[in-house]
Structure 1
Amino acid sequence: MLVIMSAGIAPGLALLSYFYLKDEYDSEPIHLVFRTFLFGALLVFPIMFVQYVLSVEGIFVAPWSKAFISTAMLEEFFKWFILYYTIYLYSDFDEPYDGIVYGTSVSLGFATAENILYLIGHGVEYAIGRALLPVSSHALFGVLMGYYLGKGKFSTEGKRPLYIFYALCIPLLLHGSYDLILLTSDQWIIWMVPFMIFLWWLGLRKVKNAKKLTEVHVYERSIS
């Protein structure tokens, strides 16, 4: 069990540390990042229950509806909801890059709890594959969600609702696409490799953009 717990937790903590340490200015309080991570982990249980009920009742049977509604929409909406109502509205969210820290935190909390449960049920031999695909993809969905929340928080009033909308819809569409590949293709690895390369490219590009936005924000704050 110790091996499974270690293998389940390690990828999420490694990725969270990576994105957290890229915050070069006012690093976020560890207790707040951990709290957000814990909220994400706790989301797994109600979402799994709802997904189980939807599956038993046969409400979403088509692959696209399973991918985009019973998986992507449920998971990304509740992560977005947690971020918006526990982080976005409060003063600790004071730089654009903070969105990425908290976005990856809630997503990796969810991914870590899900990963532990999967490894308990299927065995530790799946740990590497899980780290490279589900855990990494959740981290990158969190990067995108956090990026647009961060951009929205420090944009003009007119643009703010659009970025908040992007923060939900872009991760949802990418998450649904990820699951649709797994559900519909026997040769899913052929499609998944370029998809993950694209996702990493997009996520790291948003990290770079968020750091630039933060530099501008810190400069403007220092001279005001």
Structure 2
Amino acid sequence: MNLFIVISFFISMLACLGWVYYFWKLDKYEQEPFHLLLITFVFGAFLTLIASFFEELGLEFFGLSIDDVIQNPFNSNLLLFFLYLVVVVGIVEEFVKLIPVRFYAFKQINEPIDGLIYASATAAGFAFVEDLLYIYYGFKAGFVEGIFITWVRILTSPVHILFASYWGIALGLYKQNPARKSDVIKGFFVAAFLHGLYDFFAFLGEIGSIGAAAVILVTIILLMKKVSFLLRISPFNNLNYFISCKYCNGLFPAKAQYCINCGKSTYWVEKENKIQLKYFCGNCKSRLNFGQNYCTSCGMKIHWK
């Protein structure tokens, strides 16, 4: 039995580090030193224990028992349990995941997507230790239970990264533009709420599976769109500005072959005098003059080509 526990721990660690590697590879222009991500991973893992302490205090404060909720969810006070999951679990877990990024990795952030990269590392570390606890108690209940819990945790561990992406992306944008501080606060509370909502659906079992899947699907869709945007406005992207389409006046990335608004070819850009075109900052969409080194509205360095 002990051998299977060790193997399960190892598989869980590989899965969590695999997600760190996946998000690290999303950065196409200036990848972070991987050892810094590993340090952030360790910080996130360590702080999991602190989160457990406060969650236990929260259970006592709300007068709840997790065992009672699991065994008879619909005989429990579901509203009170939902509040506990959002106010305590969601806020506490997202906060302890945020700490290593804000107070350790933040100084390393030099492009918007870095906030997401470091958030994925601390969230993966948090998920790893949480997996260990679930796997251990799963095997204590029995071999079959342990194997089942192991695979469930491996499949669901990316959830922590998905929720952390809300405040991680906001931190990356805030580092570039301090005026976006309120976005970090909003991202944090959105993450905490969705985290608690997901846990609530998960505790309801099969009945809540559709709701849990919906929360994850929406987050994945938003994340995919944001990654594309973050890469586009990276200061290391040689083409981080927009051009105004002469057909629809919509804005499209400088190296796009077709306007993302009307779908017409952008071949005309090469034929027209570049000085006469209308340019806009890839970050804040403010108007630029051709050859301008920095956006006067948000400070973004503009790389012309």
TM-score range, shorter chain: 0.7 to 0.9
> How many angstroms apart in 1 are the aligned matches of 2:153 and 2:205?
18
> How many angstroms apart in 2 are the aligned matches of 1:187 and 1:202?
25
Give the TM-score normalised by structure 2: 0.66
Could you list the per-position Cα deviations for residues 146-185 of structure 1 after superposition, in whole angstroms to 9, with x for gaps in the alignment? 1111111112x4x322122123122112112112222456
> How many angstroms apart in 2 are the aligned matches of 1:217 and 1:173?
34
* Residue pair 1:137, 1:199 contacting (<8 A) in 2 also: no
Call closer, same or farther: CA 1:190–1:222 in 2, change over 3 Å. closer
Equivalent residue for 2:87? 69
Equivalent residue for 1:118? 134
What SS does structure 1 have at the residue aligned with 2:166?
Answer: helix
What SS does structure 2 have at the residue aligned with 1:94?
Answer: coil
Equivalent residue for 2:97? 79
* Residue pair 2:45, 2:129 contacting (<8 A) in 1 also: yes
The match for 1:94 among 110, 119, 129 is 110
The match for 2:25 among 21, 24, 32 is 21
Equivalent residue for 2:39? 35
The match for 1:154 among 161, 166, 176 is 176
Q: Report how far residue 111 of structure 1 moved.
A: 0.5
Q: Report how far residue 221 of structure 1 moved.
A: 6.1
Identity of aligned residues (%): 24
The match for 1:59 among 62, 65, 89 is 62
Call closer, same or farther: CA 1:160–1:76 in 2, change over 3 Å. same
| Unmatched 5+ stretches in structure 2 | 65-79, 139-145, 241-300
One-letter identity of the residue aligned with 1:212: R
Equivalent residue for 1:208? 228
* Residue pair 1:36, 1:102 contacting (<8 A) in 2 also: yes
Q: Report how far residue 97 of structure 1 moved.
A: 0.9
One-letter identity of the residue aligned with 2:154: A
> How many angstroms apart in 1 are the aligned matches of 2:104 and 2:112?
16
Equivalent residue for 1:176? 196
* Residue pair 2:44, 2:123 contacting (<8 A) in 1 also: yes
> How many angstroms apart in 2 are the aligned matches of 1:192 and 1:210?
27
Call closer, same or farther: CA 1:178–1:8 in 2, change over 3 Å. same
* Residue pair 1:104, 1:143 contacting (<8 A) in 2 also: yes
Number of equivalenced pairs: 217
Call closer, same or farther: CA 1:185–1:6 in 2, change over 3 Å. closer
| Unmatched 5+ stretches in structure 1 | none
What SS does structure 1 have at the residue aligned with 2:234?
Answer: helix
Q: Whose relative contact order is higher, 1 or 2, with alpha carbons under 8 Å and at least 6 apart?
A: 1
Could you list the per-position Cα deviations for residues 168-210 of structure 1 after superposition, in whole angstroms to 9, with x for gaps in the alignment? 1221121121122224566111222222222211222222222
Structure ranking higher in helix proportion: 1
State the superposition RMSD in angstroms: 2.1
Q: Quick check: 1:195 aligned with 2:187?
A: no
> How many angstroms apart in 1 are the aligned matches of 2:237 and 2:185?
22
Q: Report how far residue 64 of structure 1 moved.
A: 1.8
Q: Quick check: 1:128 aligned with 2:148?
A: no
One-letter identity of the residue aligned with 1:198: V
One-letter identity of the residue aligned with 2:98: W
What SS does structure 2 have at the residue aligned with 1:214?
Answer: coil
